Amino acid sequence: MLTEREIHKIRSRFPIFSRKIYLNSCSQGALSDVVEAGIQEYLRTWHDAGSPWDLWVQKYEAVRAEFARLIAAQPDEVAIVPSASAGINSIASTFDFTARKKVVLGEFEFPTMGHVWLAQQRRGAVVEFIQAHGDEITPSSYARALDKQTAVVPVTHVCFKNGFRCDVQEITRMAHVQGALVFLDDYQDCGTRPINIKSLGVDFYVSGTLKYLLAAPGLAFLYVRQDLISSLTPTISGWFAQSNPFAFDVQHLDLAPAARRFESGTPPIPNLYAASAGIALLQEIGLENIEAQIRLLAQTLIAGARELGIHIKSPLSTVGPLVVLQCQNVEAVIARLAERNIVVSGRHDGLRVSFHVHNTLEDVQEVLRALKGCLDLMVREHQPA
């Protein structure tokens, strides 16, 4: 567990906290000094050498290895893609939907996951959405939908709308019993706690840098289980998906034997420098320490919101990083908090408060003080005594 002094030292590396209370990592991570320095390093290499592609390709491979270590995978199992959507599309293009047609996913997925698989209906996919019970989707709901016709089960680790965390391991176990593959979207959690991709047992995994990995938009990572790679041939491709991109062979498709076959065009080099710095900072702090701090903050906010009688859309046992409170008018609440220099976001009727290691208990108390003046705009469980 980090000390208060250590947390404030970390916080000092994020300049925005000199002006605002930033609680919106679920939309975009705060900019740190080291990530800004990483971007400046890229600009320096561009200034100094013009087109140092040997150096940039080295960075590209280094970042692949850094992310692989973060999730306990092998570098050959990781593709670098410009967005989660690009990674999901590449994998979706490998399915033929002949023997197995069904795609089973919950309604809590981020829209892009639904959009990608719905777009496969023209290719024979049958998409089945699992409805939530209140603010949760249980493994038993998946069990009722899974059968031998199921090809893939996309699963979000943490729901962007309410912070619900699904039981990935149990859903994966059930899907594998039916012979289906599992695709985990971890965008709303990666960077907030240790992760071992092998322990989760999923077949595909996607996350990106702009949220809790503390870097910029325009870069994501796709994990594909090693023993699946050679059996999957994407129809979305490009020169960096080839065994040797620099062969410049226009007449032959020679896909890389590793997960790089799921990539396409030129890597977003500036974003690689930002991502490398963000990942290094997380590793320096320690993901176990980050997890403990986020858990403390999430539970403190939940306790305070309950005292105010505010309805909480997230499970009361949540350990974060996203806590969602129900509003009658979410935009008005966001505006009132902004007047106090508190940065949050909203989805539908939910006020999203997202924590990272740079947040403090004082941030939570300031939010609660602000919410006390917004009770007329919140959905209430009861009138507090």
In this structure, what CATH number is given to the domain that contains residue 365? 3.90.1150.10
Structural domain of 48:
36-282
Same domain, 245 and 315: no
- Give the angle subtended at the CA of 216 by the CAs of 13 and 366, to the nearest 5°: 50
Same domain, 112 and 195: yes
Q: What share of the chain is helix, strand, coil (3-state, %, to 5)?
A: 45, 15, 40
Same domain, 176 and 215: yes
Q: Find where tokens 């033929």 sit.
A: 96
Instruction: Compute φ and ψ for 78, nearest 5 degrees.
Output: -115, 125
pLDDT score, position 102: 98
Altogether, the residues listed in the chain come to a count of: 385
Same domain, 94 and 149: yes
Assess if residue 61 is contained within a domain: yes
- Sheet-wide strand order for 322-326: 322-326, 350-354, 345-347
Same domain, 207 and 329: no
Assess if residue 206 is contained within a domain: yes
Last residue of a domain, one of 250, 282, 314: 282
Same domain, 144 and 269: yes
Same domain, 267 and 303: no
Q: Are 282 and 213 in contact (CB under 8 A)?
A: yes
Q: Are 189 and 161 in contact (CB under 8 A)?
A: no
Same domain, 26 and 41: no
Q: How many domains does the chain have?
A: 2
- Give the angle subtended at the CA of 173 by the CAs of 67 and 142, to the nearest 5°: 105
Q: SS3 string of 141-201?
A: HHHHHCCCCEEEEEEECECCCCCCECCHHHHHHHHHHCCCEEEEECCCCCCCCCCCHHHHC
Assess if residue 382 is contained within a domain: no
Assess if residue 317 is contained within a domain: yes
Biggest CA–CA distance in the chain, Å, is 75
Last residue of a domain, one of 260, 282, 304: 282
pLDDT score, position 134: 83
Instruction: Compute φ and ψ for 325, nearest 5 degrees.
Output: -110, 140
Dihedral sign (CA 194, 198, 203, 209): positive
384: helix, strand or coil: coil
Rounded to whole angstroms, the Cα distance separating 37 from 35 reads 5
Same domain, 55 and 132: yes
33-49 vs 53-71: helix axis angle to the nearest 10? Answer: 160
Assess if residue 385 is contained within a domain: no
Rounded to whole angstroms, the Cα distance separating 12 from 36 reads 14
β-strand 21-22 against 78-81: which pairing, if any?
Answer: unpaired
The CATH number for 189's domain is 3.40.640.10
Residue-by-residue pLDDT tens, the chain, 385 positions: 899 999 999 999 999 999 999 999 999 999 999 999 999 999 999 999 999 999 999 999 999 999 999 999 999 999 999 999 999 999 999 999 999 999 999 999 999 999 999 999 999 999 999 999 888 899 999 999 999 999 999 999 999 999 999 999 999 999 999 999 999 999 999 999 999 999 999 999 999 999 999 999 999 999 999 999 999 999 999 999 999 999 999 999 999 999 999 999 999 999 999 999 999 999 999 999 999 999 999 999 999 999 999 999 999 999 999 999 999 999 999 999 999 999 999 999 999 999 999 999 999 999 999 999 999 999 998 654 4
pLDDT score, position 382: 62
Same domain, 333 and 272: no
Assess if residue 383 is contained within a domain: no
Same domain, 26 and 42: no
Same domain, 276 and 291: no
Last residue of a domain, one of 282, 306, 333: 282
